[in-house]
Amino acid sequence: MNILILTRIMNPDSNIIYNAYTDGIVANYPNTIVIDYFNLYFDNGKEEFETSIFNTIQKNNIDIVFINFVSGDLTFDINFLHNISSKSFLMMNFYDSELFFEPIDRYYAQCADLVILPTSSYFTYNFKILNINTISTLSLFDISKYRNYNLKKDIPISFVGNITKKSRQEYIDYLELHGYKVESYGIGTKNGRLSFKAMINIFNRSKINLNFSDTLEHRSFDRKYNMDYSSIPKISKYIQQLKGRTIEVALCGGFVLTQNALGIDELFNNKQIDTFETKEELLKKVSYYLKNETLREEMAQNAYKTAINKFDVIKKFKEIFQNIDLKDKTYKTIYTDESFLSNYYTYHILYFFNFLFKLKLKYFYQEFKLINFKKLKLISVYYHFTQQFKFQIIMKIFKRK
């Protein structure tokens, strides 16, 4: 079986799951071709990007094209994806689809022969009612990257993640108000972000690893990561989302106390992890588990055994590809709406300014012809301009990385 992966190749300290999915497929099919689609487009423009991918498919007789989308990414022309599906079996994976299903994912997914989702099976319904073949894999990891070092548990309570989301800081403040110190790491915390290796160390050293299930609070532009979240509907603030962090902690033999979310029972049962709904319930359970070390460690070991068998990316992709019927394809009419097109054009302002500031005028003109400027979100245009001016002009002048 000949496979082409279109993905983002990430710095391991940025988001290790993207690389894990690639590694899981390559481990089963070593001749797989991997292309960083963002870099390909960023360096070569739309026409050469599409030509390069089509040539790769034809030259290598590609059976399956697997696209591992970055959350909220709109690099691909939907008509281009439709054309790919006429040549090969097209597989897609969407992260954070709970947030991006309405504005982006459901449109791209029309072109897919199979969609896999790293979230609860409950959510597959949203795709299936659109007649899109979809399965839930839950989050998958390269389990060889995680270790239980049996370190001394010298951190009573820890949290690793983005502290700025919703009420996370309120929960932590509530614990500390009642005498329980929480060591927090990540965006917005006093300790700052961790390397992957340091994160594993924290999981190993913590008696209780806290996890929260809430999602983005602000529908805004993330300047640090150059990502535009304004396409997410406001009502999405209510969503409680399954997080891969719960699995990562378990893979290190750590005990997890997590905010509840629909489908959490598909990850672990109540003999492996525990959940909370309110600040008061969190406080009560923190007190209980700090006093009951034997039970806490027994649950952590139960979760570890489940995690290494259930969320191994290599095993899971072997199973998925063994069950794919390459003849089971769907090639249908593709629909778009004004909202999707507005998001698509606005996203491509990223490339528009990238090529302008690099003086790649040929590629700049391709984006100019592509974009319907009447449908742009002006605030996002401003942010893309400032970000690309910073990266392509200022950083080069001062020779900063």
Task: Tell me: do 281 and 353 sit in the same domain.
Answer: no
Q: Which of 268, 288, 322 is the last residue of a domain?
A: 322
Task: Tell me: do 27 and 55 sit in the same domain.
Answer: yes
Task: Tell me: do 12 and 103 sit in the same domain.
Answer: yes
Q: In which band, very low, low, confident or very high, does the pLDDT at 219 lie, cut at 50, 70 and 90?
A: low
Q: Which of 322, 351, 367 is the last residue of a domain?
A: 322
Residue 33, Cβ density class (10 Å: 0-12 exposed, 13-18 middle, ≥19 buried): middle
Task: Tell me: do 157 and 303 sit in the same domain.
Answer: yes
Q: Say what the alpha-carbon torsion angle 31, 47, 83, 117 is, to the nearest 10 degrees.
A: 60
Angle (nearest 5°) at CA 272 between 313 and 116:
30
183 occurs within a structural domain:
yes
330 occurs within a structural domain:
no
Task: Tell me: do 50 and 183 sit in the same domain.
Answer: no
Nearest to 395 by CA among 346, 343, 357: 357
Number of domain units in the chain: 3
HEC string of 12-42 equals: CCCCHHHHHHHHHHHHHCCCCEEEEHHHHHH
Query: What is the separation of C-alpha 167 from the centre of its chain, rounded to a whole number of angstroms?
Result: 21
Give the pLDDT score at 393: 83
Q: How many CA atoms lie within 13 A of 209 on its CB side?
A: 30
112 occurs within a structural domain:
yes
Angle (nearest 5°) at CA 59 between 57 and 65:
15
Task: Tell me: do 37 and 48 sit in the same domain.
Answer: yes
The pLDDT tens digits of the residues spanning 307-328 come to: 999 999 999 999 999 999 998 8
333 occurs within a structural domain:
no
Task: Tell me: do 206 and 296 sit in the same domain.
Answer: yes
Amino acid at 121: S
Contact of 65 with 91, CB cutoff 8 Å: yes
Name the strand (E) or helix (H) holding 3.
Answer: strand 3-7
63 occurs within a structural domain:
yes
Nearest to 208 by CA among 165, 281, 258: 258
Task: Tell me: do 100 and 160 sit in the same domain.
Answer: no
Task: Tell me: do 170 and 90 sit in the same domain.
Answer: no
Task: Tell me: do 122 and 266 sit in the same domain.
Answer: no
Q: Which of 322, 354, 380 is the last residue of a domain?
A: 322
pTM: 0.93
Task: Tell me: do 149 and 294 sit in the same domain.
Answer: yes
Question: How far are the Cα atoms of 38, 94, 354, 363, 400 from residue 359, in angstroms, in the given order?
Answer: 19, 33, 9, 9, 20
The pLDDT tens digits of the residues spanning 331-366 come to: 789 999 999 999 999 999 999 999 999 999 999 999
332 occurs within a structural domain:
no
Contact of 280 with 228, CB cutoff 8 Å: no
The pLDDT tens digits of the residues spanning 235-293 come to: 888 888 999 999 999 999 999 999 999 999 999 999 999 999 999 999 999 999 999 99
Amino acid at 155: I
- Cβ neighbours for 89, distance < 8 A, ≥ 6 positions apart: 63, 64, 65, 113, 114, 324, 326, 329
The pLDDT tens digits of the residues spanning 284-301 come to: 999 999 999 999 999 999
Q: Collapsing DSSP states into helix, strand and coil, what is residue 378?
A: helix
The alpha helices in 168-312, defined as continuous H runs, are 168-177, 196-205, 245-251, 279-291, 293-310
Indicate the DSSP class of residue 223.
T
Q: In which band, very low, low, confident or very high, does the pLDDT at 401 lie, cut at 50, 70 and 90?
A: very low
Task: Give the residue numbers spanning the domain of 107.
Answer: 3-140+313-322
Task: Tell me: do 249 and 163 sit in the same domain.
Answer: yes
203 occurs within a structural domain:
yes
The pLDDT tens digits of the residues spanning 10-62 come to: 887 677 888 999 999 999 999 999 999 999 999 999 999 999 999 999 999 99
136 occurs within a structural domain:
yes
Give the pLDDT score at 326: 93
CATH number at residue 31: 3.40.50.2000
